[in-house]
Structure 1
Amino acid sequence: MNSEQELLDGAALTVYRLNGQFLTIGDGLSSPAGISVAWWQVMAAVQDQPQPVAGIARAMGVTRQSVQRIADLLVGKGMCEYRPNPAHKRAKLVAMTEEGEAAIRRIDPQHAAMAHRLAEALGPAEFAATVATLERLAATLDTIIADEDQL
């Protein structure tokens, strides 16, 4: 195995580990509000603006079907609602309800505390640089995947 392969493996294993760590933290933050971390992720995607299921899935890097299942559960629990989509008749928009916003507000103080702890441990500049590097890595992988789909 060459050093580039080792770097790819190291990046992938680190991201998998980070994913597990973020899920553990997310579960700890979201469970007192009565929601799962998966529900929280979908709700966060529509917190500022209603989105179609496919758009949420793209942003999260997961399948449309998994987001649809969660959106249906959130609508059933009254935390989100489906609204008409002026851009597409069949693809309704997922929007947050007052009940969903209240759940997110219950999470916010502990979320802010965790963000502060992480920023304090890394330092604000390194924290920002880390996020920028991860975003660049994700964008680069998107480009590579799209290029391979074109082949």
Structure 2
Amino acid sequence: MPEANDSVKAEALTDLILTMFRANNLTLAWGDRLVSPLGLTSARWQILGAIVQAGRPQPVAWLARDLGANRQNVQRIINDLKSDGLVSLEPNPHHKRAQLVVLTPKGQQAYEGALELYNPLVATLADGLSPHDIAAAQRVLTTLRARLEAASTGE
């Protein structure tokens, strides 16, 4: 009987993954509309957030790792942010070529502006969802992410 149970779980997870893909696409489009008045995209906003979350200057490769993203894509976005004066690159005392990404005052202002737009809208999105359900979804997605990360590294 374990095979039938495994099949049910696999089908349910497939449904979740398909829903996650759709939700991700809708979230990115929603985010693009939200931050476009600030001259940002969801991708740029996400990078600014990763810089803030890091709490200290990091090389591009570390930011990409934290985001679970491709380093080259993150580098391209960092280059765009630098051109727009939202980040700067500073020397890394531990590595000559891997410069540290630093939020400029203009970048900090853009990030804070995005949060001001986001906070009231996320409260609306959360309406009717229980903290318990949100935490359960977070646990499932965190487990799925960890398993996918392990699979991608061959662990």
Q: Which TM-score bucket, shorter chain as reference?
A: 0.7 to 0.9
The amino acid across from 2:70 in the alignment is: T
Find the counterpart in structure 1 of residue 3 from structure 2.
Answer: none
Q: How does 1:47-86 map to 2 (within 5 A)?
A: 47=52, 48-86=55-93
Unaligned runs of 5+ in 2: 1-6
Calculate the aligned-residue CA RMSD, in Å.
1.8
Q: How does 1:3-18 map to 2 (within 5 A)?
A: 3-18=8-23
1:66 is displaced (CA, Å) by 0.7
Q: How does 1:140-151 map to 2 (within 5 A)?
A: 140-146=147-153, 149=154
Aligned counterparts of 1:39 and 1:55: Cα–Cα separation in 2:
16
1:119 is displaced (CA, Å) by 2.5
Q: Which SS does the other structure have where 1:126 is aligned? A: helix
TM-score by length of 1: 0.86
Aligned counterparts of 2:84 and 2:135: Cα–Cα separation in 1:
36
Q: Which runs of 4+ in 1 moved over 3 A?
A: 2-5
Identical residues among aligned pairs (%): 37
Unaligned runs of 5+ in 1: none
Structure number, greater radius of gyration? 2
1:121 is displaced (CA, Å) by 2.5
Find the counterpart in structure 1 of residue 34 from structure 2.
Answer: 29
- Any conservation in 2 of the 1:74–1:80 contact (CA below 8 Å)? yes
What count of residue pairs does the alignment treat as equivalent?
Answer: 147
Higher strand share goes to which structure? 2
Q: Which SS does the other structure have where 2:97 is aligned? A: coil
- Which deviates more, 61-70 or 47-56? 47-56
